[in-house]
A = this chain, B = another copy of it.
């Protein structure tokens, strides 16, 4: 029956190999150009074996993405957040943002493949949604009525969510040269003080 770890080791090995192959190939030729045979050749498994684990390549990508999103949600919960005003006044970056950058750095190859120009835009949309709902959660434009806002809350949220994702993408493209703390610092300053204020 099942072992204490839950999964047959053959399954773990195969899925790991498939995932690694997917990352490689996404960086090389982009998701759309990948065939199942590409994946199974690279992973050194039989083509039919792929279908024992995933319905098609979209299913594979989807499961991979879901795991990442879930990981990130865990980070948001673990670091018991908030204290937004403190961090707004001080020039210190928020620990949650640091933790997220650390997570991204630890899986930078995967994140670059999945967020980059050759990726499937699906994940970008899912991640942006996750960021947006978190911004709502911490009350970013929530407890204020629309009248108190200089712009519609909806666009405020979209602006910040997209901006943060853009900075993450730029960081990944640069090979993650800055530390997670430095990146969190950069994001904090840009959002708290405003991009144009960041010039002088």
Whether the pair A195, B191 counts as a contact (CB closer than 8 A) is yes
B residues within 8 A CB of A193?
A: 150, 194
Binds B, one of A1-9, A43-51, A104-112, A158-166: A158-166
Distance in angstroms between the alpha carbons of A190 and B141 in the assembled complex: 13
Is the CB of A189 closer than 8 A to any CB of chain B? yes
Closest chain B residue to A151, Cβ basis: B186
- What number of copies of this chain does the assembly contain? 2
Whether the pair B191, A144 counts as a contact (CB closer than 8 A) is no
Q: Is the interface of A mostly helix, strand, loop or mixed?
A: helix
B residues within 8 A CB of A170?
A: 154-155, 158
- Supposing A156-B195, A162-B167 touch, asked if A151 and B190 sit within 8 A by C-beta, the answer is yes
User: Which 4 A/B pairs are nearest by Cβ-Cβ distance?
Assistant: A194-B194, A162-B166, A163-B163, A158-B170
CB pairs A–B below 8 angstroms (14 shown): A117-B122, A118-B121, A144-B199, A144-B200, A150-B189, A150-B199, A151-B186, A154-B174, A155-B167, A155-B170, A159-B167, A159-B195, A162-B163, A191-B195
Query: Which residues of A come within 8 Å of B, CB atoms?
Result: 32, 88, 116-122, 124-125, 128, 140-141, 144, 148-152, 154-156, 158-167, 169-171, 174, 178, 185-187, 189-200
